[in-house]
């Protein structure tokens, strides 16, 4: 009888133990299936949930910080075609995290400088801008962005690396390729680049709603060496602290600027504006010869905002 009692007790205890294991296993499996749990994240490696992002150290989650740099014009409808005396006019944009607001970024290209008669020029309206041989140092705005204009004269066509480097920790670096095409006949029109540009500058060091653009005017090569005029009262009204146009015809601070068309019927205008309101503006180009061909485009400015 005692033997039978012990057997019954052992069976009962065993059943309780197995039931406990089964319940624990079921609870564990349920926990592992909870969205955002470590096991769930392991089975969903592409999830963008914050809890699934790997730590970058210091106890904070999220992906590692990044930085990008891009140059415009880059592709159709307006590639970076040299004009006049093998001139390059472009815009360079740096984008990174707002956590680097007011940090300094260095932008430069030794390769491009070597192909452009030994020097290139960067332009910025920032009060904190510092210029060196073929480089510029500017402050990132509160959204982590910075933009400059770029000019080169007597440049050989081809590719050159543009580099952007944070000058403080974590010393991020970004590269892009500028592809300069030789002078060539292009489709007629007026084109602004970069399109839908995000303004930079929303802090004392980074400036006040700054805009940098390049406008290409392209027409029939029969008008080579003739004058072309670009005009935008709307841009002038939109940028309350003034605008500037730069071309082979000089520097202009009003709504209108002129340039001389090259042998392919092309001309470029570098545009900059300060304290500009976001929105679209009409830009008009007139060839002051022959049948007075007129071209119109709408150029849109976007308000400062994080872009990465």
- The pLDDT averaged over each successive group of 10 residues in the chain (308 residues) is 36 35 40 58 56 44 79 77 94 96 97 90 94 94 97 95 96 95 94 94 95 97 97 98 97 97 97 97 97 96 92
Predicted confidence at residue 234, as pLDDT, reads 98
Predicted confidence at residue 49, as pLDDT, reads 53
| Nearest Cα residue to 301 out of 272, 275, 281 | 281
As a CATH number, domain 67-302 is 2.60.40.1930
**Cα angle 62, 66, 69; round to 5:** 160
Predicted confidence at residue 35, as pLDDT, reads 60
């Amino acid at each position: 009888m005692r033997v039978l009692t012990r057997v019954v007790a052992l069976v009962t205890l065993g059943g309780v133990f197995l039931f406990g294991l089964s319940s624990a296993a079921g609870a564990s499996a349920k926990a592992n299936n909870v969205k955002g749990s470590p096991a769930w994240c392991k089975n969903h490696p592409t999830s963008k949930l914050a809890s699934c992002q790997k730590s970058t150290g210091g106890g904070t989650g999220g992906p590692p910080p990044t930085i990008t740099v891009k140059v415009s014009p880059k592709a159709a409808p307006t590639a970076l075609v040299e004009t006049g005396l093998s001139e390059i006019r472009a815009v360079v944009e740096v984008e990174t995290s707002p956590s680097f607001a007011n940090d300094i970024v260095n932008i430069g290209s030794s390769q491009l400088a070597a192909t452009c008669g030994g020097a290139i020029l960067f332009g910025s309206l920032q009060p904190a801008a510092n210029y060196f041989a073929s480089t510029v140092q500017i402050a990132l705005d509160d959204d982590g962005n910075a933009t400059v204009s770029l000019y080169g004269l007597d440049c050989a066509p081809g590719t050159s690396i543009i580099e952007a480097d944070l000058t403080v920790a974590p010393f991020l670096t970004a590269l892009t390729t500028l592809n300069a095409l030789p002078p060539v006949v292009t489709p007629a029109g007026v084109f602004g680049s970069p399109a839908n540009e995000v303004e930079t500058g929303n802090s004392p060091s980074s400036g006040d709603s700054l805009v940098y653009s390049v406008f290409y005017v392209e027409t029939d090569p029969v008008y080579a060496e003739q004058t072309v005029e670009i005009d935008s009262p709307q841009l002038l009204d939109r940028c309350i602290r003034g605008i500037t146009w730069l071309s082979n015809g000089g520097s202009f601070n009003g709504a209108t600027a002129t340039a001389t068309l090259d042998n392919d019927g092309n001309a470029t205008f570098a545009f900059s504006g300060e304290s500009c309101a976001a929105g679209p503006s009409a830009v008009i180009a007139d060839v002051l010869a022959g049948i007075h061909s007129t071209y119109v485009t709408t150029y849109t400015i976007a308000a400062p905002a994080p872009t990465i």
